Structure 1
Amino acid sequence: MSTINFGGLASGMDTGSIVDALMEIEKQPLERLESDKEYFTSRQDAFDTLETKLKTLLGKFEDLDSSGEVRAYSASAVSDEYFSVSASGSALGGSYNIEVQSLARQQKDVSDGSYESRSEANFTTGTLTIGTTDITIDNDSLDSLVDKINAANTGDSATGVAASIIQDGSGYRMILTGEDASSTFSASVSGGTTANGYAALTFSTTQTQSQASIVVDGVTITGGSNTFEEAIPGVSITLNKVHPNAGDTTVMNVSEDVDAVKTKVKDMVTAYNAVINYISDQKDSDWGRDSGMMAVKRNLQKMLTSQIATGGDLTTLSQLGLETQRDGTITIDNTLLEEAITTDMNIMDKLLAGGEGFDGISSLFTEYLDSTTDRVDGLAATRQTSTDRTLKTINANISKMETRLEKREEMLRAQFDAMELLISNLNSTGSYLTQQLSLFNS
């Protein structure tokens, strides 16, 4: 409800400004609470930001905490006309001669008849059997029967056969396709009746299945798809085309990818420096002196100098060219790093990823960082719990104080309005008396 203020009309005083000034004094405790709220919110934001950077660093060390991840290989064929290749960190360097003898083909069966409509109920009753799975036909259209066939190709008892529809120019036909070139399937309809004058549903095989076959350095390998994942350890081979002549081969080379390994190490260093720089940037703030935040920097620097019994010449990160600066960040000596990759990759692998019976430096970091960023017991999580309690109390006090101040302001304005009204009445009474005295004297 709106209120009417007299604003010093009777007294000549600026009562509105007086109330505003009084309320500024009254609001000082509220301003302190709002300042506290801003502080604790900024404090938690700082820990949340640190956690984000720590998680990024965790991901970079996870990319280096197993042998297959530390190593990086590249695979290439002299020509990708017949096959394309890619390599993982578990590959072995070498040169291979590969012949593509045949491509994998799945069995395809096509319905013998064609149908004018996909959606009309052309099949009234019967049972479609694929392998050992029976599918009931009950006033189905091509579309609904295809849906039933594909539904049967799910779960633990999947038929291994997918259905689709094509338009052959004169009508619609159903195609059944085996999902594995290693096996065949059978499809038949029993007790089938049709509507709209169509013949019973039957299928003919238009493409027989055949396995893919390659020859690697004289050894023949077959498979149910055109991609071979295990023919050569750590190398994926995808077939594109059969060699035209028996005995023709294409050379594939697998070699250490020095640049890829360097990139992984550099990415880790970048993430590490981001954490150290961020903590250093907080040093002038109250939370920058938090024991937990200071411990993170201290522990990271300690682990960085860990010595690992690799059984070789590389036992510390400094021997990879990673040097700690006075501000706690790391720089990389690219010459030392590349030398370690090209001449001592096996020992570098053990230094970072560990070996039988011992952890590598990356494993030490991942274990610590995983604990530090834990959603329940991690640094940011524990600070969040205490901060939430504090902010809850502050917000409650702010709400109470805002209500009290609102009532206080209403009371002050009402008091000043009452004063103005009283003065106005007194002024009116004085004017009346003055007028009466003037009449009496005359």
Structure 2
Amino acid sequence: MPVISSAGIGSNLPVDNIVSGLLAVERKPIDLLKTQNTQLQTSLSTFGKLQGSLATLRDAAAKLSRPDIWAATSASSSDSNAVSVTTTATASPGSYSIAVQSLAAAQLGASVAFASSSAVVGQGVLHIDLGTWDKDLGTFAAKTGGSTLDISIGAGEDTLEKVRDKINAAGAGITASIVNDASGARLAIKSSSTGVENGFRITVDDADGGGGDTSGLSALAYDPENGISSLAKKQSAANALATINGLEVNSATNTLTNVIDGLNVTLGKVTTSDVNISVTQDTASISKAITDYATAYSDVAKFLKEQTKYDAVSKASGALQGDRAATNLITQLRAALTGTSTAGVKYQRLADIGLDPAADGTIKVDSSKLTTALGSLADIKAMFADGSSDANQQGLAVRMRKLTDEAMGVDGALTARQDGLRRSITVNTKQQAQLEDRVANTEKRLRAQYTALDAKMAGLNGLSSYMTQQIAQFNKG
């Protein structure tokens, strides 16, 4: 029996073409499943984008639902270089007159000039105390709760730059830096904090035996109470002095945080006249929050319209065209947009304050009308933020936040729809795999049948040739 090495040789049939044609018919259900899978994936991706836009709307609604946005204030200063002000949640509208007599300062001292930053200062121990010097520098009172901090300067640590590093690493309440000029390198020592109680005293146990001279480590000593001022005083520690509405204020820093409720006041320079501070309701931030809400809603509305539309001319449809979850959400959003709240007396609808529903489902903001409405802030706040259990009195932003929370919640419509799409994609993929297996088995069966046919036809063709030869021989005889 001849061996068939290529399909169709024995039978003279186009086996590959026949099998391919039959398999193409078998693969039609797979092609349909692939198309469906692509559509499912597109819908799932579109719902993901919708959820992102809806989250932005939820956040904008939540912001308008919170009391803090409606209590926001802003402050202005007639001279912000001298006095600058920021407000906190507890600030109330009002006006203040502030005059600055002096600024808080840190004590500053400087050593004699050394040849360079690598020059040797000396060895020994620096004793650092923080506290208050009296006006004449005759008495030093240690800071309450403070203690002396000792900094040992040994061999190899006694150059100017290494002494600087030792002081800065000690955390003694003072900092050191090197100042270079034409006279050489000087060590500048400064209190880490401003205020009279953060002055410093430096006494020295000098390895050269003299603690009060200007040689060796004693060059850094500052103890005028005992007549030692090797470190020259350049600036005294001082408190800030100011008057607020005629009331004297004394502060260790130039930032006044507890002097006026809800205000942080920063003193920048001494003044020759009062600086006027005005604290007002921050309608600009409220206006922005309302406008952001309108923008967030419009973005969701435009996205849903685009994804659910059907173009009769091109016969093209959006990814969510006909999707019940999407169409239900559109209905709910429109109802929340055009609804009324009886919580506000003057304003009950968004259109009343300049947020007009447009024909395309978005919100058109009338800035002039909104600005006018912000003059009645209490009524706008009630319309947006009232948290009443009565549905009719609930604020419109409260309702929108609730709607979006429910839609995106664990059991929400959007979440359920996305879960359903994922399950459908999983089922679709499994069906494709099953049909691919069936097609593979069909191909295997068809090729086996045609191979057997080829072998049979080859045998019959050989027998036919043999009989023809025998008959020819018989006729010759």
State the TM-score, normalizing by the size of structure 1.
0.69
- Are the aligned partners of 1:48 and 1:380 in contact in 2 as well (CA < 8 Å)? no
Q: Specify which of 402, 408, 419 is matched with residue 385 of structure 1.
A: 419
Quote the Cα distance in structure 2 between the aligned partners of 1:115 and 1:373.
Answer: 65
Q: Which one of the candidate residues 417, 423, 436 is aligned to 1:402? A: 436
Match of 1:353 among 385, 393, 396: 385
In the alignment, which residue of structure 2 is the partner of 1:264?
Answer: 289
Q: How does 1:131-170 map to 2 (within 5 A)?
A: 131=146
Q: 1:240 to 1:286 in 2, by over 3 A?
A: closer
CA drift of 1:272 comes to: 1.3
2:196–2:237 Cα contact (<8 Å) kept: yes
2:268 corresponds to:
240
More moved, 344-353 vs 230-239: 230-239
The 1:328–1:11 alpha-carbon spacing in structure 2 relative to 1, beyond 3 Å, is: same
Matched position secondary structure for 1:97: strand
Counterpart AA for 1:309: A
Pair 397,124 (structure 1): closer, same or farther in 2 beyond 3 Å: farther
Residue 357 of structure 2 aligns with an amino acid whose one-letter code is T
Alignment of 1:98-117 (within 5 A): 98-105=98-105, 116=118
Which among 168, 180, 198 is matched to residue 184 of structure 1? 198
Deviation at 1:72, TM superposition (A): 6.0
1:84 deviates by: 3.7
| CA distance in structure 2 between the partners assigned to 1:318 and 1:263 by the alignment | 17
Give structure 2 stretches of 5+ with no counterpart: 131-145, 208-215, 223-230, 310-317
Residue 57 of structure 1: how far off its partner (Å): 0.9
Distance 1:128 1:186, change over 3 A: closer
Task: Tell me which amino acid in the other structure corresponds to 1:369.
Answer: T
The one-character-per-residue Cα deviations of 1:400-431 (angstroms, maximum 9, x if unpaired) are: 43344344434434544554465456556655
The AA in structure 1 aligned to 2:333 is L
Q: Could you say which residue in structure 1 is the equivalent of 2:314?
A: none
- Tell me, yes or no, if the aligned pair for 1:192 and 1:201 is still in contact at 8 Å: no
Aligned pair partner of 1:276 in 292, 301, 304: 301
2:342 to 302, 308, 320: 308
Q: CA deviation at 1:23?
A: 1.7
| 1:412 aligned residue (446, 450, 470) | 446
Q: Could you say which structure has the larger radius of gyration?
A: 2
Distance 1:379 1:211, change over 3 A: farther
Mean Cα displacement is larger for which, 268-277 or 10-19? 10-19
Quickly say closer, same or farther: Cα 1:228–1:17, change in 2 above 3 A: farther
Give the corresponding residue for 1:364: 399
Q: Deviations over 1:94-123 (max 9, x none)?
A: 554332333344567999999859xxxx99
Q: 1:250/1:59 Cα in 2 relative to 1: closer, same or farther (>3 Å)?
A: same
1:332 aligns with 2:332: no
Tell me which residue corresponds to 1:219: 247
Q: What residue number does 2:351 align with? A: 318
Distance 1:80 1:144, change over 3 A: closer
Structure 1 pair 353–433 and aligned structure 2 pair: CA distance change class (3 A): same
Give the 3 Å change call, closer, same or farther, for CA 104–354 of structure 1 in structure 2. farther
Tell me the CA shift for residue 60 of structure 1. Answer: 1.6
AA aligned opposite 1:54: L
SS in 1 for 2:198: coil
Measured at CA, do residues 40 and 81 of structure 1 come closer, stay the same or move farther in structure 2, by a change above 3 Å? same
Structure 1 residues 413 and 345, CA gap change in structure 2 (3 angstroms): same
> Structure 1 residues 314 and 115, CA, compared in 2 at 3 Å: closer, same or farther?
same
Counterpart in the other structure of 1:40: 40
CA distance in 1, matches of 2:204, 2:438: 85
CA contact (8 A) 1:50 1:278 kept: yes
- Using the alignment, how far apart are the partners of 2:23 and 2:466 within structure 1? 37
User: Structure 1 residues 30 and 188 mapped into 2: Cα distance closer, same or farther (>3 Å)?
Assistant: farther
Report the secondary structure of 1:363's partner residue.
helix
1:55 matched residue in structure 2: 55
**Greater Cα shift, 13-22 or 294-303:** 294-303
1:22 aligns with 22
Instruction: Deviation per CA, 1:93-152: give whole Å up to 9, x if none.
Output: 5554332333344567999999859xxxx9999999995699999x998699789757xx
1:213-262 deviation digits (Å, cap 9, x = unpaired): 4433323344454444565555554433333x4xx233344455655543
Distance 1:203 1:286, change over 3 A: same
The 1-side partners of 2:250 and 2:28 are apart by: 82
Range moving further from structure 2, 94-103 or 24-33: 94-103
Distance 1:111 1:424, change over 3 A: farther
Report the 3-state secondary structure (helix = DSSP H, G, I; strand = E; otherwise coil) of the residue aligned with 1:401.
helix
**1:308–1:361: 8 Å Cα contact kept in structure 2?**
no
Distance across 2 between alignment mates of 1:133 and 1:288: 78
| SS of equivalent to 1:262 | helix
Q: How far apart, in 1, do the equivalents of 2:461 and 2:104 lie?
A: 109
1:59 to 1:253, Cα distance in 2 relative to 1, 3 A: same
Structure 1 contact 86–235 (Cα < 8 Å) conserved: yes
Supply the distance in 1 between the matched residues of 2:125 and 2:219 (Cα, whole angstroms).
Answer: 11
- Three-state SS of the structure 1 residue aligned to 2:100 is strand
- The whole-number CA distance in structure 2 between the counterparts of 1:427 and 1:266 is 88
- Within 2, Cα distance between the matches of 1:185 and 1:356? 57
Q: Number of aligned pairs?
A: 416
Secondary structure in structure 2 of the residue aligned to 1:64: helix
> Measured at CA, do residues 359 and 420 of structure 1 come closer, stay the same or move farther in structure 2, by a change above 3 Å?
same
> What is aligned with 2:137?
none
Cα separation, 1, equivalents of 2:170 and 2:470: 111
Query: Taking structure 1 as reference, are residues 318 and 418 closer, same or farther at Cα in structure 2, changes over 3 Å only?
Result: same
**2:269 and 2:31 mapped to 1: Cα distance?**
76
Cα pair 2:37 2:428 within 8 Å, conserved: yes
Q: Structure 1 regions of 5+ residues with no counterpart?
A: 151-158
Distance 2:65 2:221 in 1: 54
Contact 2:46/2:319 (8 A) holds in 1: no
The residue number in structure 1 matching 2:226 is: none
